[in-house]
Amino acid sequence: MTEELGQVVLEECRDKMAKAVGHVQAEFETVRTGRANPALVERITVDYYGTATPLRQLAGFSVPDAMLLVITPYDKGSLGAIEKAISTSDLGINPANDGTVIRLAFPPLTEERRRELVKVVRHKAEEGRVALRNLRRTARHELEALEKDGSLTADELERIEKELEKLTHAQVESVDELLRHKEHQLLEV
């Protein structure tokens, strides 16, 4: 029974760490790599009849070629609002509205812009690593509290902390792997 409590803490930490890595991956998808990708715009919020609505709920996306993203609104009346939301976003691309669809032409990234985006991605990766370390610290405090109240022996605590350390290293490595992949995407011409 005593060791089960430690395993519960470890499992909770494992789940939270997996979500943290997933969050880093989702953050990376929002960084432009010079290719058209719906993930860049689907989180943009549109003022749709007075309600802030995510673009993914208002339109479909298609990528006819690597440099073009076509947004097809489900309601043609929302074209203007979608165009305005894209124009005011931090995407830095002017939408072309032909009355039926909105086209976003992605220009090739300059070398300077690629370097800036690599810095942004590295910062997001570091935030992810910090989140993982914070989760490890929280789990450690819970485990130490279990030892204090007698629910875990010192040996069990040490063994579970080693597992926690292995888990943390594995998750940090997966963030690093995501970072390497994203940097490669950004720097390839």
Query: In angstroms, rounded to a whole number, what is the distance separating the alpha carbons of residues 82 and 88?
Result: 10
pLDDT bin (cut points 50, 70, 90) of residue 66 is: confident
Residues 6+ apart with CB under 8 A from 54: 42, 43, 44, 45, 46
What phi, psi does 40 have (nearest 5°)?
-70, -30
Q: Where do the CATH 1.10.132.20 domains begin and end in the chain? A: 2-30+110-187
> pLDDT-based confidence at 176, cuts 50/70/90?
very high
Confidence of residue 114 (pLDDT cuts 50, 70, 90): confident
CATH number of 38-105: 3.30.1360.40
pLDDT digits (tens, 9 = 90+) for 17-60: 999 999 999 888 877 776 777 877 877 888 888 888 888 888 89
Amino acid sitting at position 182 = K
CATH homologous superfamily of 2-30+110-187 equals Ribosome-recycling factor (1.10.132.20)
pLDDT: which is higher, 65 or 125 = 125
